[in-house]
Structure formats: structure tokens, C-alpha cells
Amino acid sequence: MNAIEISGLNWKYSGKDQPALKDINLSICENTFVGIIGSNESGKTTLVSCIKGLIPENYSGVYKGEVKLFGKSIKECSTVDIARTVGMVFSDPDAQFTSMSVEEEIAFGLENMGLPVSEIKERIEWVSRLTSIESLLEKPPYDLSGGQKQRIAIASIIAMKPRIIILDEPTSMLDPFAKDNIFSLLQTMKRELKVTIIVVEHNIEKIAELADQIILVSDGRVEKIGESQGFFDDIEFIESHSVKVPEAIKFIQRLYKEKGLCGSAPVRFDEIKKAAEELLGK
């Protein structure tokens, strides 16, 4: 089943001359891990805001086309329905943390769903184990690092058990160690949860590692959509949209070409290494 179906979507923020999204058509299967890449201001965030229903609900502008979640148009869904179907994590860890302790932060979303206290308790236990934040539950926000806050923001969304989780540049404000931590959490989510995950990210290396499917957005259009292996075959095309192809991928493609191999070169680091060893061994 398709988790998301977008057809003929156009969106222009009021007061802007140019539309932010132009004629978007795409469908995303249930339980896939999707990476959305593209330069700043290309429309990535606007696109996920449409999936989340923040557009047209919270912004004014001109909206054309349709977004369907699990076959149901978002126009027919109530805001509460959407909130429960689609969870969203933003990039600023501070702005997402509105309670005075981690536990309350996770409980808050669940209270809003009207769940009984016993269920809230169970979910907090489950999610804190899944995201390894058991030791943080009592802490106030100013005792946490940015990476920890982001981990909690993700946990509080997972606890609500949405069928789609969107993460909008979840690591852009974190240091590399914290970034790696968040990416390994995403790996865990991919493995453990039956959920569609959409990540907007600048870190192409990590997207190549994790995503089943990648979407390249540029100037309000979907320029390319496809599986991660083979996505970067046309380096020039990708880089012409201000997205840098990771150098290890470039290198293995170069090896493939020189050796006259057909088919797409791998994009995940371990596979690149293995392929390079085989090619160099010959």
C-alpha cells in the first residue's frame, strides 16, 4: 500500500512571486526509508510540510493538487488525525523541548492523545529502551546536550506510534559524534519499527547508507527519485543541483568505469570497500 501519494501538487506562499513547489507527483510505499536531498531553499522542507499537513493549514498561499495518506486525502482528515498519523521532528532541538523534564516531554504528546496513564507509562518505558534514554528520564532540558535533546524529540514522536515519521534536517545543529548517534538511532528505527521514515538531510553519505529510496528536490521540483544504488550514477546531473556526491562513491564509480563494468556501483561504505577490494585484487 502507498503511504503517501502526491498528485499535481503546486504551492505558492502568499507574498512570493515564485511557487515553492511546482507540479509534484510522487508516491511512497509503506515502511520504506526515504531520504530527501537538495540545496537550501529548494523546497525540501515545504514538501514535507505538505505531507504533514502544515501546509495549507498553518500558512497562507495558493494550493493546488492533492496529498493522500494511506489512500485518504489530507483535506478530509482532521488535524488530530494527521497529528497521529504523521509525526515530525525538526532541526532545532531547543525549540522542540517545551517541558521541564525528559519524561514529561515524552508524556506530553501521549497525554494529548488522551491515553490512559497506565498506557503512557508503558510507552515511555518501551520508547526509552528503544532509543536508549533510560538514564535521562529525570533530567531537565538545560542538563542535556543538543544530541540528547534531539534523541528525546525523536523518542517523543516514536512514542505516539505514528505510521509516518518525518525528520527535517534532524542533525544539522549537532556535532559529528551526536550526528552518528542520531543516524544509528535511525538505523534502529528502520530495523525495529514498522513505519515509513522520511529524512530531509544534507549529509549525503549517511542518506546513501540508510535510505531505500532517495528524492532529489531542486527549485521546487522533484528532479530525481529512485533507489539509493544507482542514484548517483550521473554525478554531473546531481552536482548541477548543488548536491555533492560523496567522494568514495565517485571513486568506486571511476573504478567501475575504468574496468568496463556495467551496472551501478555500490553507495554504502562497506559495500564500496568490498567492491574496491575485489576490483583491486584482480
Partner 1 sequence: MAVERKMQKTIIGFVPYQSPIYALHPLVRLVIFLVTGFIPLFVEIPEVNILFLIAIIGLFIYSKVDLKKLKMYMPMVFTVGLFIFVTYLFFPIAKGEKILLYQLGAVKLYYNSIMWATCIYFRIIALLFASIFYFSTNRERDMLIAFRSLKMPFVATYFLGLSLRATGIFMEDYQIIREAEQARGLDVSDLSFVGKIKHFSMYMIPLFTLSIRRCEEISVGLYSKGTVISNKIDGRKRPDYLMSKNPVTQKDIFYSAAIVLFFLAFCSLQVFGGVFSLDNSPINIAILKLLKGG
Partner 2 sequence: MESEAGFLSTDKIIEVKGLTYCYSDGTKALEDINIDFYKGQFIAFIGQNGCGKTTFSKCLNGIFKPTEGKILVNGLDTALPRINKQLVENIGYVFQNPDHQLFNNSVYDEIAYAPRNLKLNEEQVRERVLVASKISGVSEGLFEEHPFFLVKGLRQRIAIASILSLKPRVIIVDEPTTGQDYKQSIEVMEFLKMLNEELGHTIIIVTHEMDIVAQYAKRVVVMNDGKVLTDGTVKEVFANPELLEQANVKPPQITRLAQALKSYGFKNNVISFDEMCEQWESRV
Instruction: Cell 536531498: give the residue.
Output: 37
Q: Residue 141: name its binding partner from partner 2, partner 1, none (Cβ under 5 to 8 Å by kind).
A: partner 1
Query: Based on CB atoms, which residue is closest to partner 1, 73 or 79?
Result: 79
Q: Which three cell numbers stand for residue 208?
A: 546513501
Residue from 111, 82, 108, 87 nearest 97 by CA:
108
How many residues bind partner 1 (CB under 8 A)? The answer is 44
Interface of this chain with partner 1, residues 43 to 72, rule: CB under 8 A: 52, 54, 58
Q: Check: CB of residue 36 under 8 Å from CB of residue 210.
A: no
157 binds partner 1 (CB under 8 A): yes
Q: CB 80 → partner 1: shortest distance, Å?
A: 5
Q: Which stretch binds partner 1 (CB under 8 A): 20-28, 98-106, 182-190, 207-215?
A: 98-106
172 binds partner 1 (CB under 8 A): no
Q: Residue 173: name its binding partner from partner 2, partner 1, none (Cβ under 5 to 8 Å by kind).
A: partner 2
Residue 56, C-beta contacts closer than 8 angstroms, at least 6 positions apart = 11, 63
Interface characters, 182-211, with partner 1 (x: CB under 8 A): ------------------------------
Residue from 122, 120, 149, 121 nearest 136 by CA:
149
Query: Based on CB atoms, which residue is closest to partner 2, 30 or 180?
Result: 180
b vs e for 213-227, b when ≥16 Cβ sit within 10 Å of the residue's Cβ?
A: bbbbbbbbbbbbbee
145 binds partner 1 (CB under 8 A): no
Q: Residue 260: name its binding partner from partner 2, partner 1, none (Cβ under 5 to 8 Å by kind).
A: none
Residue from 230, 217, 225, 282 nearest 39 by CA:
217
Query: Based on CB atoms, which residue is closest to partner 2, 35 or 147?
Result: 147
Instruction: Cell 555500490: give the residue.
Output: 266
Separation CA 189–CA 213 (nearest Å): 16
Residues, the chain, total? 282
Q: Which three cell numbers stand for residue 151?
A: 534523541
150 binds partner 1 (CB under 8 A): no
Instruction: Cell 504528546: give the residue.
Output: 109
**Binding residues for partner 2 (CB under 8 A):** 38-40, 91, 145-147, 169, 172-180, 202, 205, 242-244, 246-248, 250-251, 254-255, 269, 272-273, 276-277, 280-281
